[in-house]
Chains A and B, each alone.
Chain A
């Protein structure tokens, strides 16, 4: 209570605490400490964004391992070790790099339990960065979580607050299934909120009602929760009250919370920074159409980027990312819809 910290600090703290709690937790990834084998400092980076800083000095190189740039080997090591008595947390710097190790995630980790007739447990966590906003261009800015939500056997976590990031990461490490933990890189410092010092677990599949409102439901994911919040503020000034639902995990997805809200407001806008084809916005819009058709008073609208790679130029990137203005426009059109 009353301790406001950044998402960066919240994730770092969660990792410290799970490693203190459970000696079978190991961390591995590229430069998660930094400086391995180099003449200068150890723990030189603490991860490319500094999220894992201080962990190797505290827990040693046996438990916090810098690795070669070998994503398949990193994920394979984590997944194999998870079936062999450890609870590894692998860092895969950017979700964009999943292409070079996708097999280990989608064909191995995701499928062991099912393929092996329920006899395998694979308690592995893969932390990775998502999202545009740093002009990092097409190969370092994607969201891609829909690709993983598509695959049965994997759980997908998309925190939007420091509180959720800590509690969901603790849950991820304690969970017996493979979890991919998607961290929006802009939120590391953009988000600060109340985070208990104690350990706590936020359950998967439990959406957070970020804001209550009776006119329109906005389901938003990760950084888009905050863009939706800005839009809702603006709309409140116009007398339109939005209810913002943050699923927190997209697999499992808290369908009940979304539908319950839509039943009350009769309107739905879904905001997703992932590309529009087969993204969560499309999935959630289909859910509402399928399960809440009778309650809908207007067509469901989605706010997503255009179907393009993420551009480099700042003004193009800004146009790519769903803005509060676009979200507010979508809500206005939804609320103003006349059949």
Chain B
């Protein structure tokens, strides 16, 4: 096992990363329960199992850096610092939700945290990330943009355009392709003609790397290198994160397209939280007691959030027509 830059993080930073991943996991497990109980309107796409990607990348970013997310955006939102209670209320459609109940699960956003929005359109994010990167470049802020895209979104024309465009302008942007093996119910081993998404990087004139998405440190180290390159004017990078999701495309997905026992094996052997715990304790960086304390803390937070969200106020009819325009 190599001691990359992630293994050299301070105890505080490691605990912070673990807390963020644990928060995402608990959030998603509780959303699963609440949705199944019929307490949430609409539909939701869960990120459980993929936490190392969002947290591994976002641990290099501050509020001034921007990310664009996908329909599976809860994890990115939490990793980027969005208020968890506000997210819970948003999922309930409360007027106290992060987006006033106007967006819901698929449009969680907080620009003040650099979160430009989960996105209901596959391939919708990469062009927008170009804009954040262009603003950083033009205004010389030293900030970067990251677009998280699934293996499905990797096949969109908008994504191809954006990668070319980013290289042409040497924009400070990361294209993070979260390849969880399925675009809805279609396997990426079938839909990505070049096999691995990372193979597309040279075609668009940028460096590319493929990382183990079950391992926080693998993602963290690759993202750190790419963010540094972007900040120093070196242009875009493609990162393909390989892993699998613990739930279906959306809640209610029967997942009959998956192999028997696939998810059980993932949960048993490839859980990024378990792998993180094993690596940091074996290396003597953190101890179980400290990590257990985080688990308990997050569980308590989630209890309070769920309770608050259930009791949160509902929007009033006048909010139907509010905030379409700044002025009209």
Contacts and interface: CB of A to CB of B under 8 A. Distances in A.
Contact flag (A, B; Cβ within 8 A): yes
Nearest to A100: B157
A205 B327 CA distance: 11
A72 B158 contact: yes
B109 A119 contact: yes
A115 interface: yes
Given A76-B158, A119-B109, A108 B128 contact: yes
B136 interface: yes
Contact of A85 (B128, B139, B168, B328): B139
A26 B133 CA distance: 14
A119 B98 CA distance: 9
A153 interface: yes
B132 interface: yes
B107 interface: yes
Contacts of B112: 119
A205 B111 CA distance: 29
A80 B173 CA distance: 12
A81 B169 CA distance: 14
Contacts of A205: 328
Interface in A83-133: 83-86, 88, 100-101, 103-104, 107-108, 111-121
A116 B158 contact: no
A214 interface: no
A204 to B, nearest CB: 8
A72 B99 CA distance: 26
Interface residues of A, number: 50
A79 interface: yes
B251 interface: no
Contact of B323 (A68, A100, A101, A113): A113
A124 to B, nearest CB: 9
A325 interface: no
Q: Which of A67, A100, A111 has the most CB of B within 10 A?
A: A111
B120 interface: yes
A114 B130 contact: no
A121 B120 CA distance: 19
A314 interface: no
A68 B165 contact: yes
Given A26-B138, A85-B135, A80 B326 contact: no
A44 B75 CA distance: 47
Contacts of B68: 80
B140 to A, nearest CB: 10
A149 interface: no
B324 A103 contact: no
B127 A116 contact: no
A227 interface: no
A152 interface: yes
Interface string B70-112: 0000000000000000000000000001111111000101111
A284 to B, nearest CB: 18
A303 interface: no
Given A83-B116, A117-B102, A119-B111, A88 B326 contact: no
Interface string A186-205: 00000000000000000001
5 contacts: A67-B168, A77-B131, A83-B128, A84-B135, A112-B117
Interface of A: 24, 26, 62-63, 65, 67-68, 70-86, 88, 100-101, 103-104, 107-108, 111-121, 152-153, 155, 175-177, 205, 252
Given A103-B121, A111-B107, 14 more contacts: A73-B127, A73-B165, A76-B128, A79-B131, A80-B131, A80-B135, A83-B132, A84-B66, A85-B135, A85-B139, A108-B121, A116-B109, A116-B117, A177-B328
